[in-house]
C-alpha cells in the first residue's frame, strides 16, 4: 500500500507548510517583520502541489476506487471534492491579499493574516477528514488489485510541464522553503 504511505507523506509536507504559514500569520498579527520571499515560496508550493498532483490523484483515482467498493464514503468524498475546489479559490484570496500587503503595507496586514488563518484551518480540517475518515474506509474496503493500481498511479507520475519526476521537483521547492525559513521552523537566517 505505497499509495497510502505517499498520501500520508504528502499530507505531512502540506501540514509543515501550513505550520509555516501560521507562523507568518502570527508575525503579521503582531506587526513583526518577516521575509516575503518565504511566504511567496510557501504559497507557490501549496498552490502548485496540491492542485496539480495531490488532489487529482485523489479525485481521479482514490475516490472512484473507494466508490467502486462502497457507497458508505460517498458523502465524505463529495465534501472532500468540494473542499478541493474551495481550496483553489481560497488560495487565490490569500495571494491577492499578499499583493495588497506588498503594495499597501501594514494597512493590509490584518486582511492577509485573516485569509491565512481561514485557509490554514480549512485545510487542516480537510487533511483530518481524509486521514481519520476516508483512509480508514479505504483500508477496510479496497482489495489487493485496487492497491496495486493505486500504488502504480501514486508512484509513477511525472510532471508533463517540467518533464521530470514531479515529486522531486516539489521536494526541491520544499527544501528551498526550509532553507530560507528562519528557525524554529527552518534553517534560514533570522529575520
Per-residue pLDDT of the chain (191 residues; tens, 9 = 90+): 899 998 998 898 888 889 989 999 999 999 998 889 889 988 988 887 887 788 989 999 999 999 999 999 999 999 999 999 999 999 999 999 999 999 999 999 999 999 999 999 999 999 999 999 999 999 999 999 999 999 998 886 544 333 445 555 556 666 666 665 556 655 455 65
| Letter string b/e over residues 163-185, b meaning 16 or more CB atoms within 10 A of that residue's CB | eeebbebbeebbebbbebbeeeb
Q: Please indicate, yes or no, if residue 188 is contained in any of the structural domains.
A: no
Domain CATH code at residue 34: 1.20.120.520
Q: Is residue 137 part of a domain?
A: yes
Number of domains in the chain: 1
12 falls within a domain: yes
Alpha-carbon distance of 176 to 27, in angstroms, equals: 21
Instruction: Read off φ and ψ for residue 183, nearest 5 degrees.
Output: -60, 150
- 189 domain-assigned: no
**Is residue 190 domain-resident?**
no
* Total-model pTM: 0.83
Nearest CA-CA partner of 41 in 187, 175, 190: 175
Residue 186 lies in a domain: no
- What pLDDT, on the 0 to 100 scale, is given for residue 45? 85
Q: Which domain holds residue 78?
A: 2-180
> Is residue 31, in this structure, part of any structural domain at all?
yes
C-alpha–C-alpha distance, residues 175 and 120, integer Å? 21
For 159, which DSSP code? Answer: B
CB 109 within 8 A of CB 72: no
**Does residue 158 fall inside a structural domain?**
yes
C-alpha span between 75 and 53 (Å, rounded):
23
Amino acid at each position: 500500500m505505497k499509495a497510502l504511505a505517499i498520501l500520508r507523506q504528502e499530507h505531512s509536507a502540506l501540514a509543515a507548510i501550513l505550520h509555516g504559514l501560521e507562523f507568518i500569520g502570527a508575525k503579521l498579527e503582531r506587526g513583526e517583520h518577516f521575509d516575503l520571499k518565504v511566504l511567496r515560496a510557501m504559497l507557490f508550493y501549496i498552490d502548485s502541489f496540491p492542485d496539480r498532483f495531490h488532489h487529482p490523484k485523489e479525485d481521479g483515482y482514490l475516490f472512484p476506487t473507494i466508490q467502486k467498493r462502497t457507497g458508505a464514503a460517498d458523502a465524505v468524498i463529495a465534501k472532500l471534492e468540494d473542499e478541493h475546489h474551495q481550496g483553489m479559490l481560497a488560495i487565490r484570496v490569500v495571494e491577492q491579499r499578499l499583493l495588497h500587503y506588498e503594495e499597501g503595507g501594514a494597512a493590509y496586514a490584518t486582511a492577509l493574516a485573516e485569509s491565512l488563518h481561514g485557509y490554514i484551518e480549512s485545510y487542516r480540517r480537510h487533511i483530518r477528514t481524509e486521514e481519520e475518515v476516508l483512509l480508514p474506509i479505504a483500508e477496510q474496503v479496497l482489495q489487493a488489485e485496487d492497491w496495486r493500481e493505486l500504488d502504480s498511479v501514486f508512484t509513477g507520475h511525472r510532471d508533463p510541464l517540467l518533464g521530470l519526476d514531479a515529486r522531486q521537483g516539489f521536494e526541491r521547492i520544499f527544501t528551498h522553503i526550509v532553507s530560507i525559513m528562519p528557525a524554529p521552523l527552518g534553517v534560514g537566517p533570522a529575520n
